[in-house]
Amino acid sequence: MFSATPFNFTKEEQVLFDQLMQDPTSTIRVSEDNRTIFAKRNSDDSLDLTKSHLELPPIWDTHMHLLNYANVKGMVSLHGTKSVEDCIKAGRERLKTFQGEFLLGRGWNQNEFSDQRFPTKADLNQISTEVPIIFTRTCGHVAIANDATMKLLEGNQHPDIDWETGTIIEAGLNELYALIPSPDVPIIKEMLVDAIGDLRYHGISEVHTDDFTALSDRDYEKIIQAYTELDNEGKLKVKVVQQCLLQTKEELVGFLQKGHRMGQGTENFRIGSLKLLLDGSLGARTAYMREDYHDDPGNCGIRIYEDEALQELVDMANKQGMDVIMHAIGDAAIDQAMDTIEKTQKKYPRKNARHGIVHCQITSEDQLDRIAELNIVVYAQPIFWRDDSKILESRVGKEKASTSYNWGGMQERGIEVLAGSDAPVVEFDVKENMKFLK
C-alpha cells in the first residue's frame, strides 16, 4: 500500500489529524482565502474554526477528468438503482424539469437488480418516445437508447448497435455519443466553474486533468479557450494542468503544428504532458497482461498500440520537449511503457524529462526496479484499492496480487509516486482519498 506521510506534522498535529480523519463530521476544504483547512463542520455545513483544526498545504489531484466529471454531474444519476423500474422512475422525475436535447443517465448496474437484466429500448420508451434518451451502465462500456435516439442512428451499420433492444456497446458508443451536440465555449466555462467549486469544496486547489476527449466533437481548442478565458476573467479558482490525450499520429502532429507545447500557458492554466492509453481496465479484463487472466484462460487483455506506432508518438512528443504519461494497468502494458521510455530517452535524451505511467497497478518486483532505474513518475490512484482489492486475486492469482498495487514498494525505491482520483471514475473528495494513503 501507499506509505506516504505527505505532511511534516508535529506530534500534536498528527494526533489531531488522526482524530479528524476518524470524525464523520470533518472535511477538508479550500477556504475563500485559498487556505486548505481540515476541520469539523457546523450543522449548516460551514467549517467550525472555533474547534481545533489544521491548515494543510495545497493539495493536488494529479490525474482526473474534470470536464467529464462536469458532464456526468449533469446527468440523471442511476447509481444505486435497484431495478429497471427505479431507472425509469429517475428518468421520469428528471424529465419534469428537463430542458436540453438529450436526456442522459449514468450508473445503472444490472448486478444490483433482482432480475439481473439490462434495461431495454422498450423500458426507456416508458420515460419518453419523443426526447432522445441514453442511459449508460456504470462501467461506461454499455448504453441503452430509446426509440427517439435509435431513430437518429438510422442507417448506421455499426455491428455494436443492437436495433432490437437498443443496446449499444464498446466502439458503437462513439457513433451514439457523436449524436449529442457538443457544448460551446460559454457553456463549457459554466460547467468548469461549477466543477471547480466542487473541487474546492472537497479540498483540491490544483488539478491535472485529461479533458480533450470529454466532448462529443473532441475539439480541444474549445477546451483550451474555455480555461484560458476563465483564467483571464479571474474565475479559474484552482490551478489546472492539462494532460493532453492525443491518441493518433495525426492528432499529435496537428496539435504540434498549431504551435501547442508543454509548459505553455499561465500560472493557473498550463499545457501538460502527452497522455496515451496503452490498455484497458482490470475490472473489464482488458488490462494487458504478461500472462492470461487467472479467471479467464486464453485472455491476456488488450494491447492498444503496436510497439512501433507507440514509439513514433512518444519520440515525436519527447523530441519537442513534451513529457509522455501512459495509462498502463497490466504488467505487459507497463513493460511496453518502460521499453518506449527507455528507447526515446536514448534517442532524444532530455535532462529534466518526467515521463510517467498512469495507474501502474499490476507489477512484479523486477518491474519496480526498472521503473526506478528509468526515473519514471508513477501517477497512482490509492483509492482504487477500495474496489479493486475485491477482484485482484481472482483476476491475477495470489502471487502476482502480492506484488501489485505496490506504491509503498515504489516509494522505498525512490520512485516519485503522485496521487490522483481519476474522477469521475471515483470521487475526488480529498478526505476519502486520504484514507488510502497509509
User: Least distance in Å: CB of 136 to Zn ion?
Assistant: 17
Nearer to Zn ion, 123 or 422 (CB): 422
**If 0-12 CB within 10 Å is exposed, 13-18 middle and 19+ buried, where does residue 355 land?**
buried
Nearer to Zn ion, 422 or 429 (CB): 422
User: Least distance in Å: CB of 295 to Zn ion?
Assistant: 24
Among candidates 360, 400, 369, which has minimal Cα distance to 2?
360
Nearer to Zn ion, 29 or 208 (CB): 208
Tell me the three cell numbers of residue 219.
475539439
Nearer to Zn ion, 323 or 422 (CB): 422
Pairing of strands 269-277, 324-328: parallel
Region of 367 on the Ramachandran plot (φ > 0 left; ψ -120 to 50 alpha; else beta): alpha
Find where cell 497509509 sits.
438
Among candidates 61, 63, 42, 43, which has minimal Cα distance to 53?
42
SS3 56: strand
Nearer to Zn ion, 69 or 305 (CB): 69
Nearer to Zn ion, 137 or 370 (CB): 137
Q: What angle do CA 60, 64, 69 make, to 5 degrees?
A: 120
CB 437 within 8 A of CB 419: yes
Nearer to Zn ion, 127 or 329 (CB): 329
| DSSP string for 258-315 | TT--TT-B-SSEEEEEEEEE----TTTT-S--SS-BTTBTT------S-HHHHHHHHH
Residue 59 corresponds to which amino acid? I
CB 378 within 8 A of CB 357: yes
Tell me the residue number closest to Zn ion, measured at CB: 422
Q: Distances in Å between the alpha carbon of 113 and those of 133, 199, 388? A: 21, 32, 21
User: Least distance in Å: CB of 328 to Zn ion?
Assistant: 12
Residues contributing to the site for Zn ion (CB under 5 A): 422
User: Least distance in Å: CB of 214 to Zn ion?
Assistant: 11
The dihedrals phi and psi of 314, each to the nearest 5 degrees, come to: -65, -45
User: Least distance in Å: CB of 207 to Zn ion?
Assistant: 12
User: Least distance in Å: CB of 425 to Zn ion?
Assistant: 7
Nearer to Zn ion, 69 or 102 (CB): 69
User: Least distance in Å: CB of 243 to Zn ion?
Assistant: 8
User: Least distance in Å: CB of 379 to Zn ion?
Assistant: 9
User: Least distance in Å: CB of 198 to Zn ion?
Assistant: 17
User: Least distance in Å: CB of 177 to Zn ion?
Assistant: 17
Nearer to Zn ion, 40 or 65 (CB): 65
CB 235 within 8 A of CB 200: no
Largest distance between two CA atoms of the chain:
68
Nearer to Zn ion, 212 or 255 (CB): 212
Among candidates 339, 318, 336, which has minimal Cα distance to 328?
336
Rounded Cα gap, residues 128 and 424, in angstroms: 27
